[in-house]
Each structure stands twice: as structure tokens, then as C-alpha cells.
Amino acid sequence: MTSPPQAPAGPAAILVGPPGSGKSTVGPLLARLLDAGFTDTDTLVEEQAGKPVSDIFIEDGEPAFRAIERSVVQAALRELAGTPGVVALGSGAVEDPATAALLAGQPVVYLETGFAAVARRSGLDGPHPPLPGNPRGKLRQLLEQRRPQYAKLAWLTVPTDAAEPADIAAQIAAALAARQPGAS
């Protein structure tokens, strides 16, 4: 686990990372430890669009999804300004320049996950992946493309490959407690 010396005020934590990194699993656990609310922006996107993320991509295209996502992320961060809360962002949210600008200087926690763990958690490690084409290749490409942005925005990086969600949440909570004024 690596971290800079201090994180700014604002939401307790903003979780970023690739699909399968554990944002939607670790987020509620962390929120419970912090006695804070939890928001998953993919859920908010689905609520706003009235359909699953996968359907938005298929029926409306990625630009339409990203526009909704940008709006939802902005609203979620605005709502949590100065209050404790945990927000899990969709894996590609960091690629949007407006979203990345909002995240700069925030307590962004990168759930660092390698390709093998992401493939296993996404069901792409079997002999017959659930999608046609080359989903493993596309996933590997997305990981390589997004990894630098995750790392650049991160206040804290927590490796997740061999860790249990409860342990990851506890590591993040401890790091957040250490950054509080008066903490030693």
C-alpha cells in the first residue's frame, strides 16, 4: 500500500479501478467502517437512464453513457462535498477530462488489480469466455490504457489481487484515520 502524506477534505473516499477490482464490494464495507453513506455511480447511471449500463452502451453508445456518467459523478461529488461518504466510480470515469479534473486533489483510492485477477473476477478466465470476439484482449487493453490515470489521480493505492474485501476496506479506513487532523 502506498500513499502520499495527506489527502484533502471532501468525501471520505472515492474508489477507482478496473472492472472487477472490488469497488462495489469494498465500498459498502468501507462506508460501514466509516459510518458513512455509499454511492455507486454505475447504479445512479442505471437509475437515471432506466436501463442497465450494458444496454446503454449497446442501444445508445459509449458517448451517451459517458455523458450520463459525467453528470452523475459531478452530482455525487457535489452532494458529498465536506461530508463523509464513499463513492465508487465506474472503471472508465477517470478517462473523462471533466471528471478527472473534479477528482484532482480528492481522496481517490485506486484499487490496483492485475489482469489475471480482473479476468478471474469478470469470468473471463475460463476456456470459453462469456462474450464473442476477444474480450480478454480488450480487457487487457483497457487496463493498460487506464492504469496511468488511476495512478495519477490516486491519493492512496491499495493492491487487491490477493486481498479480501474486508481487509482492503480496513486498510483504507486506517489510512483515512491516519490523515485526520491530530492523528499521529
Q: Is residue 6 situated within a structural domain?
A: no
- Please say if the pLDDT value at position 34 is more than 70: yes
pLDDT in tens, 69-83: 999 999 998 887 777
* pTM assigned to the model: 0.82
Mean pLDDT of all residues belonging to the chain: 82
Judge contact between 86 and 13, C-beta under 8 A: yes
Q: Is residue 7 situated within a structural domain?
A: no
Q: Is residue 1 situated within a structural domain?
A: no
Q: Is residue 4 situated within a structural domain?
A: no
For residues 57-72, average pLDDT: 91
CA–CA dist 177, 158 (Å, integer): 15
Q: What are residue 109's DSSP bridge partners?
A: 15, 156
CA–CA dist 103, 177 (Å, integer): 20
Q: For residue 30, which of 181, 117, 118, 158 has the smallest C-alpha distance?
A: 158
Read off the CATH number of the domain in which 151 is found.
3.40.50.300
Q: Is residue 89 situated within a structural domain?
A: yes
Dihedral pair phi/psi, residue 40, rounded to 5°: -110, 115
Question: Which residues have CB under 8 Å from 112's CB, separation 6+?
Answer: 17, 21, 150, 157, 158, 159, 160
Residue 29 lies in domain: 13-179
Interstrand relation of 108-112 and 85-88 (parallel, antiparallel or unpaired): unpaired
SS3 at position 91: coil
CA–CA dist 153, 19 (Å, integer): 17
pLDDT in tens, 78-102: 887 777 899 999 988 999 999 999 9
* Amino acid 134: pLDDT: 54
Q: Is residue 43 situated within a structural domain?
A: yes
* Amino acid 118: pLDDT: 61
For residues 65 and 115, the model is more confident at 65
Q: Is residue 184 situated within a structural domain?
A: no
Kindly indicate the confidence band of residue 47, based on its pLDDT and cuts at 50, 70 and 90.
very high
Q: Is residue 69 situated within a structural domain?
A: yes
SS3 at position 164: coil
Q: Total domain count for the chain?
A: 1
